[in-house]
């Protein structure tokens, strides 16, 4: 398949912006997420979000855009406008309780106009594995194991993604599990935005962006290079059982204290109790601007998604 997405002059340009989709309710992690977003659930006393900030900081990211929804103010108050050496921008999803990740990604279409790393808010992984994802048009994949579910991919002889398998399907030994981390070039993002616009204009807000990627790969207009993650060094956390398994995974690698706004964060034992998140007011962080003054925050306020905003 001809690679149509990467400008030759940008192939070696490192991605410096990340997009985190963190609007969902995380209901399967209740009661931990009843009054807290999923990304602030702690794994071995360090929250998922802190682990991500640490990983992005290690790889010199300069900007993090977060799509927020459920308990959005917890994330804003936790990070402020700068963290881990990065500028933090927020996009508010008004329909987070009735839409899926395709809608969250679509909301970022005006905020991001550069190559970026796309990541979900329920992942823990060894930070050094992110190194292979720092260049455009790559997808993190892992060997498939019996306990894994969700989207898988097939890889061709040219080491490109040949096919996406979304939804319920029978796995086979030639498939790899998607880790839900992607890097997109500027050119690829323009093509993806066109597809997202079409889907949302048809009120298809409950789907997954992976179906858009799948269609584009099938049509030959999207080319992803796989980056292989060690299956024992990452975990996707959807349930309490997943959280317990993730704690064992994170025990396998050293994770130093996260640096946020020049201060080390080492103790998160009080971040999540049996039912709720407790914000640690002692953490130094950049003061959040009052919401009505936040010119960087793009809040989607439409009451209907049957037509696109002009």
**CA 232 to CA 235: how far, in whole Å?**
8
Residue 124 lies in a domain: yes
Residue 111 lies in a domain: yes
Report helix, strand or coil for 11.
coil
Q: With helix as H, strand as E and coil as C, how does 75-128 read?
A: HHHHHCCEECCEEEEEEECCCCCCCCHHHHHHHCCCCCCCCEEEEECCEEECHH
Report helix, strand or coil for 199.
helix
Domain ranges, residue 198: 14-297
Residue 72 lies in a domain: yes
Instruction: Identify whether the C-beta of residue 122 lies closer than 8 Å to the C-beta of residue 48.
Output: yes
- Whether 211 shows a pLDDT value over 50: the answer reads yes
Q: What is the mean pLDDT of residues 199-209?
A: 95
Here the CATH number for the domain that contains residue 280 is 3.90.550.10
Instruction: Identify whether the C-beta of residue 257 lies closer than 8 Å to the C-beta of residue 46.
Output: no
Residue 278 lies in a domain: yes
**Cβ-based burial of 279 (10 A; exposed 0-12, middle 13-18, buried ≥19):** middle
Residue 289 lies in a domain: yes
Domain count, the chain: 1
- Whether 273 shows a pLDDT value over 70: the answer reads no
pLDDT score, position 13: 83
Instruction: Identify whether the C-beta of residue 18 lies closer than 8 Å to the C-beta of residue 119.
Output: yes
Position with higher pLDDT, 109 vs 302: 109
Residue 245: enclosing H or E segment and its boundaries?
helix 240-250
Residue 52 lies in a domain: yes
pLDDT score, position 291: 34
Residue 47: enclosing H or E segment and its boundaries?
strand 46-47
Residue 204 lies in a domain: yes
Residues sharing a CB contact under 8 Å with residue 254, sequence separation 6 or more, in sequence order? none
Residues sharing a CB contact under 8 Å with residue 265, sequence separation 6 or more, in sequence order? 50, 257, 258, 259, 283
pTM for the whole structure: 0.82
Residue 304 lies in a domain: no
Q: Name the least confident of 56-70, 83-97, 136-150, 219-233.
A: 136-150
């Amino acid at each position: 398949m001809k690679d149509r997405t990467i400008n030759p002059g940008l192939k070696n340009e490192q991605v410096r912006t990340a997009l985190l989709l963190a609007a969902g309710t995380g209901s399967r992690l209740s009661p931990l997420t009843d009054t807290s977003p999923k990304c602030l659930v702690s794994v071995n006393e360090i929250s998922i979000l802190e682990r991500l900030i640490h990983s992005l900081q290690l790889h010199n990211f300069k900007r993090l855009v977060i799509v927020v929804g459920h308990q959005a103010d917890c994330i804003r108050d936790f990070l402020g406008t700068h963290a881990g050496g990065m500028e933090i921008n927020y996009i508010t999803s008004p329909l987070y309780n009735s839409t899926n990740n395709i809608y969250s990604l679509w909301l970022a279409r005006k905020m991001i106009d550069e190559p970026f790393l796309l990541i979900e808010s329920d992942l823990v992984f060894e930070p050094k594995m992110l190194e292979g994802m720092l260049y455009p048009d790559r997808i993190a994949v892992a060997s498939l194991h019996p306990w894994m579910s969700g989207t898988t991919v097939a890889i061709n002889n040219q080491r490109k993604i040949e096919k996406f398998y979304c939804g319920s399907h029978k796995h086979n030994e030639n498939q790899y599990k998607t880790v839900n981390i992607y890097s997109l070039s500027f050119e690829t993002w323009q093509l993806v935005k066109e597809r997202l616009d079409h889907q949302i204009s048809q009120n298809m807000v409950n789907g997954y962006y992976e179906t858009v990627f799948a269609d584009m790969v099938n049509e030959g207009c999207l080319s992803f290079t796989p980056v292989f993650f060690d299956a024992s060094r990452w975990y996707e956390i959807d349930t309490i059982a997943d959280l317990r398994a993730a704690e064992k995974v994170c025990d396998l690698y050293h994770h130093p204290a996260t640096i946020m706004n020049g201060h080390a964060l080492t103790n998160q034992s009080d971040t999540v109790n049996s039912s709720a998140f407790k914000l640690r007011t002692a953490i130094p962080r950049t003061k959040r601007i009052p919401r009505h003054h936040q010119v960087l925050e793009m809040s989607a306020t439409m009451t209907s998604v049957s037509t696109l905003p002009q």
